[in-house]
Structures are given as structure tokens and as C-alpha cells.
Amino acid sequence: MVARIFVLLLLWLLPAYPAVVAQNVTPEAITIEHGLSQGMIFDICQTRDGFLWVATKDGLNRYDGYNFKTFTNDPFDPFSLAENTVTALFEDSRGLLWVGTESKGLDLYNPRSGRFYHLAINFKGDKKLPDSDVYSIGEASDGAIYLLQQSNGLLRIVIPDVWKTQLPAEPDLSQARITRFGNERFMNSGAADEQPCGNPEPQKNGNLLVFSNKNPYWVNVADGTVQIATDRQWQELEARKKRDIWADFPFGLICFRNGNGRVVKYPPGMKINWAMVKPADDGHFWVSVNHQLWLLSPGEDLDFSKPDWLVDENISTVATDRNGNIWVGTQGYGLRKINPGKKLFHTGAAGASIWGLWRDTRGGYFCKIVNEVFPYHPATGKLGPERVFPNGPKRLLDFCIEPSGHIWMLGRGDEDNGRAELRHYSPDYAFLQSYPFDFYSYVYARLLRSRQGNIWISGLNCQMICFNPQTTRFEYFDYAALFGENANTVRVFALAEDGNGVLWIGTQQGLVKGIPNGRTFDFQLIQADAQKKQGLSNNSISCLLSDPADPGGVLWVGTKGGGINRLDLHRNHFQHITIKDGLPDNVIYGILPGDKKTCGAAPTADCSK
């Protein structure tokens, strides 16, 4: 079970598959102003060399993350693109890019030579469907290429063996063997409105499963037969964990589940400008309707009221790159790039410099801004106007909260005269008592309530003070031997106790582990090491949290520059969570538990969850 945690950048770290809130993600627009040749996008594909290819109404674009290179037809170059309107893209297992066009059939791009080769498709096709554009390309397990055309139906292309290692000297690929399975082959149910749809499913034996709006069809490439798929054939597909097949038609969406097609009707009154269905990895499917986008898992139903993402224009296609970014093509307005990691974090208290974040036992949050404390409301992402603890010490250093709701505050006067005080407050923030003690403080001094009910206080010169509320006595410990002559430079920024009773001390020079040994502690120092990929990512520790769901197994570590570290206490391995995973910043200032599903954190200048 994943605990809910707050991170101070402040952040909410969600579990591996969070519920998506579409409105919280703002896509980045990439248009003709950035070098894209045309705004009408038909398909997107990332090839193994890292380039992102974009099929448009006016040219094939290759994007390297910074600049676009556009490929168009040159009538004086036979190895140029056959025509400028590109409708489909697919990279095969040999690393060759197949390019579908609007009226010139299929092109093949060799990235090693930079040449385009051409395969004209001359079937007469279906006169009722005048469109000859290629709208889907794929590869069967035997290496054959298949494609779908509106007019010709399913085409299977087998290239000569010699082309698998070296393409011909001329741009003509007419020697490829093409087998046509016309649209009429997929209209055997007797229904007048039956028509084939896209996204055939290749099988291990080279056969294909193709769908109409009524039935799944089994295409046997060996004997050229097409028949309605049997239950057994569908179960073979089930074994590959693709339980659902989605397709789009002018009148609605179709979901095939367990071999049975079901029309998913649009909500009454919903105007449909454009709908799109495209396979994703691991049996998932992309579905878009107008500006709305869903990524559906196997067995998941489509909820029109809860899109996973929203973009500002109608969606024509979608793809993901190897970094997990989502690339959305629009109808006339270019690309939209979505970083799905950003949806893991919801920002609040924008513009405020947050020095600390706490949650009381009643579910209320309060933030420290320099020496003042204000309530924070996660639902609105706003700070309250009224101060909390308005009559507290001049310097408010830290707080800790008991399970009973009682609050302990560490503070001192304006001058550091070697004295400080612990203040005790009731759950409703009423002052109860003050306990003065000898203490040379610093601005980031920390408090921690142990499982035994004692209050730990971090001091200068590697000193730790333990206050027993029952006896009102202060006891002093130190770990200066770990740092030698640098002990007087060590500053503690975080304290935690795990479920095993181990004391954790986060400093700007590493993480200190205090193992109980009778009435004292054995202290150990953990520091970052570039040779240890599963070690601590950064020595500057800013915050610690023992995982509420697994206090004996997981410790959360916030760093200044290394993002969040998740320490597996059983294996002593650190997992690193950084801006690459969606964090707004790698500088983390605080972590708090939330509910059972999320975790919150605070970055440099705002609250995120």
C-alpha cells in the first residue's frame, strides 16, 4: 500500500498509476511557428534513433527535440517523398520507416541512405469508397507488412528476402508481392451497415485478426481465406492479454470484449467533430473524441465525463516517446506535448516561500513562512489570511504533533543567547506550558516525537537533545565522531524515527542513522557515492518521513538537488524520484503524509501534491 505524502519544492507524490485529473495538465503547443511544416497532423511515430516523425498535410517532418527537418516531393529527385500529404507512419523490425500517402500508395524510407522508395498500389478498389489514402500500417510476425486503405481494404505486402539487408538501386518497389483482402471480405454478417475498421491484430503464426463493426474476422494468409473468428481463435488473442479491441466509426465507437462487439454510443447532444482510436502498449488503447483523450486499460469502460487529458483543439492522432511524453496531433493546429509526470503533482500556495509544512490530527495543514505560520487549504491550494500561534516566540523554529493532537513548538527570542523553549499547545492551538532549556539554536533546528512520546531536538555541533514530557528532563547525545574536525559545520535539517526504533538525522553532509543500544545510540553515516546507483542521490538532506503505511520498511528522503529518495529499509536500496519523473524541482523542502493514496512535497517556492 502506498501512503499519501506532502513534498516542500510543497508536492503530492501519487502512486504508480494515479487517478488522472485532466484539467491539471497544460500541454505544450508545437506549431508552424516552431518549424512544423503544416498544422494538420495525421500520424506520429518515434523511431529507434530517437527522432520523432510527424505526418502532415504538407510534408513529412522529422523532429530532434529542437528543430524540424521537412521532407517533401522533389520532381527532380526520384528518391524523394512520393507526395507531400502523408497519412500513416510505421517503423518495422528492420528499422525502416514505412510512409503511407494520400494517393501515391506506400513509401519506404531508409534512414541509412536518406532515400525514399515507392510502392504504387494500383487496385481499382471499392467504387463506393473513393479514398485511397493509407490510414494504418503494421507488421506481422513473419515480417510481412500490412496496411489498410479506405478503398482497397487490407493489403499484405511481402518484400523479397534480398531487400531485408539491402534495398534496390532504383526507387521502384514494384517487385514486392501484394495480396489484397477487399472490404467485401469483411462483410459476411448479412448486416447492410457492416464495414471493416482499422488496427488489425497480427498473430504469432503470421495470420491477422481484423474487425468490422459487427464481427472479428480471422485472415489466414497461407490460403487467403477470411472467416468470422471462432471462440478458440479469440481465446488465442486473450492469451496475449489483449482482452479489448477498440475501433471508431462515423456513428460511434466499438469495443470488442471477449469476441463480442458493443457499440459505445456518444452522450445525447454531444457534437462529434472527430473521434480517433489507436492501439497503445500492453493491451491499452488510446481513444479521443474532439478535445478529450483517454488511455484505456484492458477491461476499462469509457467514461465520457472523465477524460484523462484535455487539449485545446480536436485530436487527430496520438503517440508516446521513449521518455513517456505524450504527443498529440491536432486537426490543423500542430502538435501538443504532454508530460504525464506533471499530472502526478498539483501545485498550491503559488508564489509563497514555504519554510515548513505540518498537518494536525484533525486534517488541517499549516505552513511556516519565515517566522509566521498560516493555515493551508489543499482543496483550494490557498493560504489562509489569519496567523496560527500569533502569540508564539519571536523565532518559530519547528513543530511536532502528537497522535492526541497536542502540539509542541520549538522557539527562542530574537537573540541566540544559549536558551530556547519548548512550548506545549492543545489540539485547538491553546497555549498550555513552556519548558526553557540550554540550547544554542540555528534557524533550521528540528523537532521529532518518538514512538515512546519523547521529543527529540537537533542542535549545533552534532548534538541531539531528548526531552521526556513525563519527567520534564532534557538528556543530551552527540555523533560528532562521524564528522571529525568538521563536526561544528554540520547542520541538521530533518529528523525521523522508523518503525524499527531507528533514529534518522538528515544533515547537509549526509544521512545519519542512529541505532538504539541500551540507553545510548550507535551512529552511522550514509553519504552519496557516484559508484552506487542504488545509494543516496545527494548529501544535502532537507526532509525525512517514515512511510505511514510501512514504517518498518520505507523511509522517504527529500534532498536539495537530488529530488526524493525512497529508502527500502530491508535492502538498504534508494530509489530516486526527480524532475525526470515529473517533479517540478529537484530541491525538496518538506514531506508529509496525506491519505492512503498520495504523498505531498514542497519545492523551492510553492506547494505541490
Of 599, 549, 602, nearest to 4 by C-alpha is: 599
Q: Among 102-111, 121-130, 135-144, 414-423, name the one with the lowest average pLDDT.
A: 121-130
Neighbours of 488 (CB within 10 A): 10
Residues forming beta bridges with residue 336, ordered by sequence position? 29, 328
- For residues 431-452, average pLDDT: 88
- For residues 100-107, average pLDDT: 92
Report the distance separating Cα 225 and Cα 125, nearest Å: 19
Residue-wise pLDDT tens digits, 66-76: 899 999 999 99
Contact 214, 226 (CB under 8 A): no
Coil vs helix vs strand at 457: strand
Residue-wise pLDDT tens digits, 128-171: 444 457 888 999 888 899 988 877 888 899 989 888 888 999 99
Residues forming beta bridges with residue 516, ordered by sequence position? 521
Name the band, by pLDDT with cuts 50, 70 and 90, for residue 229.
Answer: confident
Contact 67, 35 (CB under 8 A): yes
pLDDT of residue 395: 85
Residue 164 vs residue 1, higher pLDDT? 164
Name the band, by pLDDT with cuts 50, 70 and 90, for residue 13.
Answer: very low
**Which amino acid makes up residue 152?**
N
Report the distance separating Cα 609 and Cα 604, nearest Å: 14
Q: Among 63-67, 195-199, 528-532, name the one with the lowest average pLDDT.
A: 195-199
Report the distance separating Cα 499 and Cα 451, nearest Å: 9
Sign of CA dihedral 536, 541, 542, 548: positive
Cα distances from 450 to residues 401, 491, 546, in angstroms, run 11, 20, 12
Q: Among 5-9, 124-128, 230-234, name the one with the lowest average pLDDT.
A: 5-9
pLDDT of residue 237: 59
447-449 β-sheet, strand order = 447-449, 455-458, 463-468, 473-478
Of 33, 28, 38, 92, nearest to 61 by C-alpha is: 38
Cα distances from 570 to residues 427, 500, 539, 553, in angstroms, run 35, 11, 21, 6
Contact 363, 355 (CB under 8 A): no
Residue-wise pLDDT tens digits, 111-124: 999 999 999 887 66
